[in-house]
Structure 1
Amino acid sequence: MSVEVLPESTLRDVMDLLVRLVEAAGALIIFVGAAWAFGRFLLAGIRGGGVGRQFNRIRLSLGRFLALGLEFQLARDVLRTAIAPSFTEIGQLAAIRTALNYFLGRETAAERAEIEREHRKEADGSRAPTGPA
């Protein structure tokens, strides 16, 4: 004897709603990050001379928003395959997740290293002698 908690059609409708909500959340995160980065870029340009120095910080922050938004998009794909996934879908998700984590991790580490180098240059410059003693 089999007990059905929810009819399959209702379960599919609920999952479709959840997929759409998670997809919208991911898109919203990416949009907010892009708008924030653009705003910071404009402010740095308006203030003058700061775009070059702020560029890597802005880019790193945007990368974090993108990574989070893409994680939501991946969650959407996981939800989409929650009901009777095929081995092909599971394999595709695993490949996408692996590649995404690898490349975003590399990019984030490189940006952090660049920001640390900038901080060291600024700190070394502020310790330089100011004139003849």
Structure 2
Amino acid sequence: MEHPWGQAALANLVDLLLMLVEAAGAVVIFIGASVAFVQFVGAAIRGRHTVDFVPIRLGLGRFLTLGLEFQLAGDILRTAVSPTLREIAELAAIATIRTALNYFLTKEIQEARAELSGRVDVTAPGPARGTP
């Protein structure tokens, strides 16, 4: 006798969770892109788009990184119920690609932060370097 919460019910629950997680990832990416676009337009109107570009990219990169994490979680959920060898292989390929994207995006964010703090150190008023 099959349990009332059998495989079909579990698969339906996982499908619902999958939709929610993938939607969350899409919403995070959309919000990040929207915020970055509004900031870029504002900087362009002020004529400062080249100066403000790095912080805008940095903010967008954080949203993209988070969105990719949600998408990877969705991929893992997709294979949670009775995965086939093919689904496991696809998950491994997708996870590798998304992890590589995330790695390089994080690396670029770190470089942008370093560039931004280097620019702030050079242009910020205050004591000269090397003085307390």
Q: Which TM-score tier does this pair reach, normalised by the shorter chain?
A: 0.7 to 0.9
Give the letter for the 1:34 counterpart: A
Aligned equivalent of 2:116: 115
Structure 1 distance, partners of 2:99, 2:30, is 24
Structure 2 distance, partners of 1:34, 1:23, is 17
Aligned equivalent of 1:65: 63
Name the TM-score, length of structure 1 as normaliser: 0.82
Task: Give the CA RMSD over aligned residues.
Answer: 2.0
| More off after superposition, 85-94 vs 58-67 | 85-94
Give the letter for the 1:28 counterpart: V
Query: What displacement does 1:103 show?
Result: 1.0
Unmatched tracts of structure 2, length 5 or more: 128-132
Number of equivalent positions: 124
Query: What displacement does 1:7 show?
Result: 1.5
1:24-66 deviation digits (Å, cap 9, x = unpaired) = 1110110100000000011111122x21111000001001001
Query: What displacement does 1:5 show?
Result: 5.8
Name the TM-score, length of structure 2 as normaliser: 0.83
**Whose Rg is larger?**
1
1:65-89 deviation digits (Å, cap 9, x = unpaired) = 0111111000100100111233424
Give the letter for the 2:113 counterpart: R
Structure 1 distance, partners of 2:93, 2:42, is 41
Give the letter for the 1:66 counterpart: L
Runs of 4+ in structure 1 off by over 6 angstroms are none
Name the SS for the 1:99 alignment partner: helix
Identity of aligned residues (%): 49
The answer (yes or no) to whether the contact 1:30–1:69 under 8 Å persists in 2 is yes
Structure 2 distance, partners of 1:8, 1:80, is 14
Aligned equivalent of 1:32: 31
Give the letter for the 2:100 counterpart: A
Alignment of 1:28-107 (within 5 A): 28-48=27-47, 50-85=48-83, 86=85, 87-107=88-108
Unmatched tracts of structure 1, length 5 or more: 129-133
